[in-house]
Structure 1
Amino acid sequence: MPSRREPVVKRLNRHLWLVEPLEDEPTFLIKAMFGGKAVYLHGRFILFLADKEEPWRGVLVPTEREHQPSLIADRPALAPHEILGKWLYLPEAADSFETDAQWLVQRARAGDERVGIIPPMKRARKRKSPASRPGQGNS
Structure 2
Amino acid sequence: MERDANYQLRKMFGCDAAYLEGLLYLVVADRDAPWNGVMVCTSQEHHAALMADVPGLLVHPTLGKWLYLPQTDEAFESQASTLVAMALARDARMGVTPKPKASRRKSWRTAD
Provide the TM-score with structure 1 as the length reference: 0.72
Counterpart in 1 of 2:8? Answer: 29
Which of 1 and 2 has greater Rg? 1
Which structure: greater strand fraction?
Answer: 2
**Does residue 65 of structure 1 match 2:44?**
yes
Separation in structure 2 between the aligned mates of residue 114 and residue 77 of structure 1, nearest angstrom: 17
**Does residue 84 of structure 1 match 2:68?**
no
Separation in structure 2 between the aligned mates of residue 75 and residue 25 of structure 1, nearest angstrom: 23
Provide the TM-score with structure 2 as the length reference: 0.88
- Structure 2 residue aligned with 1:52, among 7, 18, 31? 31
The answer as to whether partners of 1:40 and 1:47 remain within 8 angstroms in 2 is: yes
Separation in structure 2 between the aligned mates of residue 117 and residue 38 of structure 1, nearest angstrom: 12
* Residues 3-51 of structure 1: CA deviation (Å, up to 9, x unaligned): xxxxxxxxxxxxxxxxxxx112121111122121111112110111000
Q: Once superposed, what is the RMSD of the aligned Cα atoms? A: 1.9
Instruction: Give the number of the structure with larger relative contact order, counting CA–CA contacts within 8 Å between residues 6 or more apart.
Output: 2
Q: Name the amino acid aligned to 1:109.
A: L
Aligned length: 110
- What residue ranges of structure 2 are gaps of 5+ in the alignment? none
- What residue ranges of structure 1 are gaps of 5+ in the alignment? 1-21
1:93-108 mapped onto 2 (5 Å cutoff): 93-108=72-87
Indicate the percent of aligned positions where both proteins have the same amino acid. Answer: 42
